[in-house]
Amino acid sequence: MKFTIFTPTFNRATLLPRLFQSLQSQLFNDFEWIIVDDGSTDNTSQVVQEFIDTNPSFKISYYIQPNLGKHIAINKGVSVAKGELFFIVDSDDFISEKALSIIDIEWELISGDDVFAGIVPNKCYIEGKTIGNPTYDQLDCSPYEFRYKFNQIGDKAEIIRTSIFKMYPFPNTVNEKFCPEALFFNKIIEYKLRYINKDLYFCQYLPDGLTAKIFQIRKESPINTCQCYMDMANLNVPFMIKVRACVNFYRFKRYTSVPVNKPNLSLFTLFFSKIVADIIYFLKDKNN
């Protein structure tokens, strides 16, 4: 099987039909759809059963877990996925009818080269505007180079080899329901991704979504958050990126009493970063 479309969901019963319709309209149908319900209290299970009852051309697998967080749902999806490529499509988003056929064509050009981890098209807002400002038609580089060498910005739709996701599961930290997905991408900088300037993924940032309340979410999962920023500070990134990661490390470290490893930076850089983090706390975070 070529693709596993994976959807983590929490109380999105009213939005899932839009995604289902976009999957039904795909011009390429060698894929499965795995849904992991992260403890929904609405009628998600009923809605998914209605999808299954329509007998679509693709297999739908539905799993329910307690409310443990998106990252744990991803771990579950990866563990049962049968597709060569793992494509996370959130429950409030959908994809173009040509998405899988275009990605399949692009992937066949590079799939034999193990240095490539996946294909990355653009994400767009629901109304069609591309997120970010791509300055390329095609770009082969690591996630690190994409951000810090080629200075590209904006969310992207990463479709990654399932085997690589299996190599780097997200941590299951006690009492933490969030883990930045950057923690995974920080671990695969030795791979290349093929970035293509094609608008194939459409997303909606809802008021109750992760993006809308990201500070509070990170604050409530400080160990995973600190791990992500520590990894970023230890990468071969520009110095100011290291400092910013280190500042955020100390910014969120104050919300846990559990010892966490510090970034491998000079004492002066660590001290400076902690001072800046303290200033941010008193001027901004404390009020929040």
pLDDT tens digits, 199-256: 999 998 877 666 658 899 999 999 999 999 999 999 988 999 999 999 999 999 999 9
Residue at which a domain ends, from 206, 238, 270: 206
Supply φ then ψ for residue 82, to 5 degrees.
Answer: -115, -10
- Structure confidence at residue 204 (pLDDT): 85
Burial of 55 (0-12, 13-18, 19+ CB in 10 A): exposed
Say yes or no: 77 and 119 in one domain.
Answer: yes
Print the domain residue range for 12: 3-206
Residue 215 lies in a domain: no
Position 47: which residue type?
V
On whether the CB atoms of residues 117 and 161 are closer than 8 A, the answer is yes
Say yes or no: 264 and 191 in one domain.
Answer: no
pTM for this entry: 0.93
Residue 216 lies in a domain: no
The 8-class DSSP code of residue 211 comes to G
Instruction: Give the pair of three-digit tokens for residue 52.
Output: 């299954």
Say yes or no: 132 and 225 in one domain.
Answer: no
Count the alpha carbons within 13 Å of 252 in the hemisphere toward its beta carbon.
26
Say yes or no: 190 and 267 in one domain.
Answer: no
Say yes or no: 263 and 158 in one domain.
Answer: no
Burial 61-96 (b: 16+ CB within 10 A, else e): bbeeeeebbbbbbbbbbbeebebebbbbbbbbbbbb
79-128: pLDDT as tens digits: 999 999 999 999 999 999 999 999 999 999 999 999 999 999 999 999 99
- Structure confidence at residue 208 (pLDDT): 65
The tally of domains found in the chain comes to: 2
Say yes or no: 8 and 128 in one domain.
Answer: yes
Say yes or no: 138 and 107 in one domain.
Answer: yes
Count the alpha carbons within 13 Å of 248 in the hemisphere toward its beta carbon.
20
Nearest to 138 by CA among 165, 102, 162: 102
Say yes or no: 61 and 123 in one domain.
Answer: yes
Give the pLDDT band (50/70/90) at residue 184. Answer: very high
d(CA 176, CA 216): 12
